[in-house]
Amino acid sequence: MKYTVVGLFKSQEIAKQVSESLEESGIRNEDYIIYKTQQQAARKQNLWKQFLGIKSPQTNPENDKLITSVEVRSEEEFNNVKDSFEKNEVVKMYEFKDMTIDEAKDLEYIKKIVELRAKSHIYAMPAISVSNGSISQGITAEVKA
């Protein structure tokens, strides 16, 4: 039973704590990936925006989200990873049974798969009826329908 667990965290500031927590729980260094954004690339893109006078929001490592992928081989490892993630206040955790750690090396692939999984959760939610009035309400009943 081999699969990949992806954790989404609030800030990149906790990357070191996440790494230490995973290693303390018995996960080897080569079995997890912590993705950090490259600030140099963001600065180069902003150079042209500065010349053209286009304002863009500043990207700070404190505001950027942290993504971590961990290869899990057993239920015990999964529980250790889950406890480690929860200790570091994971925002959302996804399990991918069909993804290897080699596939997880590509951050864009991870983002695409997580986005698809999040959309599928939204579409799978049951429909909630907002209107609870009767038909005799006139035009408001027609607008809500």
* 64: in domain: yes
Cα gap 83→88, rounded to integer Å: 9
Q: The sheet that has 32-35: what strands, in order across it?
A: 32-35, 66-72, 3-9, 90-96
pLDDT per residue rounded down to tens, the chain (145 residues): 788 999 999 988 899 999 999 999 999 999 999 998 765 555 556 666 776 666 655 555 445 788 999 999 999 999 999 999 999 999 999 999 888 888 889 989 988 988 888 888 777 666 665 555 555 555 665 565 5
pLDDT attached to residue 126: 67
As for how many domains the chain has, the answer is 1
Look at residue 137 and tell me if it is in a domain. no
Evaluate whether residue 132 is within a structural domain. no
Domain membership of residue 83 (yes or no) is: yes
Is residue 139 a part of any domain in this protein? no
Question: Does residue 63 lie within any of the structural domains?
Answer: yes
Domain encompassing residue 36:
3-127
Could you tell me the CATH number of the domain that includes residue 80? 3.30.70
- In Å, the largest CA–CA distance within the chain is 66
Length of the chain: 145
Assigned domain for 138 exists: no
144 falls within a domain: no
